[in-house]
């Protein structure tokens, strides 16, 4: 069974702060890793996709890194804004699971104005 863990479950920060969200996994034979955000009552919005041969991806104020040897990915959010408040989920697929992504439990982020 593939396990994906996200800690902390909830995080509250003041506006403007830089922050890091964590995603841990037990099997390093990753195929892809994807970060999503989910707003309350909404679907999932893809933020960044990291393929197994890559170490990081950047989009605007977001940077995601992947360290397969330590079983960890981080999502770095620079200069946080209230609009960043959402639940952030990481999802991984492994070589033996093909296109099937397995999700972590998510980190609920609140950015306080």
Partner 1 sequence: DTAVSQTPKYLVTQMGNDKSIKCEQNLGHDTMYWYKQDSKKFLKIMFSYNNKELIINETVPNRFSPKSPDKAHLNLHINSLELGDSAVYFCASSYGSTGELFFGEGSRLTVL
Whichever of 31 and 76 has its CB closer to partner 1, that residue is: 31
**Which residues, 6 or more positions from 17, have their beta carbon under 8 angstroms from its beta carbon?**
79, 80, 111
Distance of closest approach, residue 105 Cβ to partner 1, in angstroms? 6
Asked if 99 touches partner 1 (CB under 8 A), the answer is yes
| Binders in 45-84 for partner 1, by CB under 8 A | 45-46, 49, 51
**Cβ–Cβ < 8 Å for 4, 89:** no
- The one-character DSSP state at 17 is -
Provide φ and ψ at 82, rounded to 5°: -55, -30
Q: What CA dihedral angle connects 38, 79, 25 and 50, to 10 degrees?
A: 80
Q: Which stretch binds partner 1 (CB under 8 A): 13-21, 61-69, 77-85, 93-101?
A: 93-101
| 107-112 and 10-14 strand pairing | parallel
Asked if 105 touches partner 1 (CB under 8 A), the answer is yes
Whichever of 42 and 55 has its CB closer to partner 1, that residue is: 42
Among 75, 86, 91, 111, binds partner 1 (CB under 8 A): 91
The residues binding partner 1 (CB under 8 A) are 31-32, 34, 36, 38, 42-46, 49, 51, 87, 89, 91, 93, 98-103, 105-106
């Amino acid at each position: 069974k593939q396990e994906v863990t996200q800690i902390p479950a909830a995080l509250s920060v003041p506006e403007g702060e830089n922050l890091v969200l964590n995603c841990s996994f037990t099997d390093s034979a990753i195929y892809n890793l994807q970060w999503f955000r989910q707003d309350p009552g909404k679907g999932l919005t893809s933020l960044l996709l990291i393929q197994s041969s890559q170490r990081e991806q950047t989009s605007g104020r977001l940077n995601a890194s992947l360290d397969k040897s330590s079983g960890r990915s981080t999502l770095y959010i620079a200069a946080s804004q209230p609009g960043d408040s959402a639940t952030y989920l990481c999802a991984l697929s492994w070589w033996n699971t093909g296109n099937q992504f397995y999700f972590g439990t998510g980190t609920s982020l609140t950015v306080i104005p």
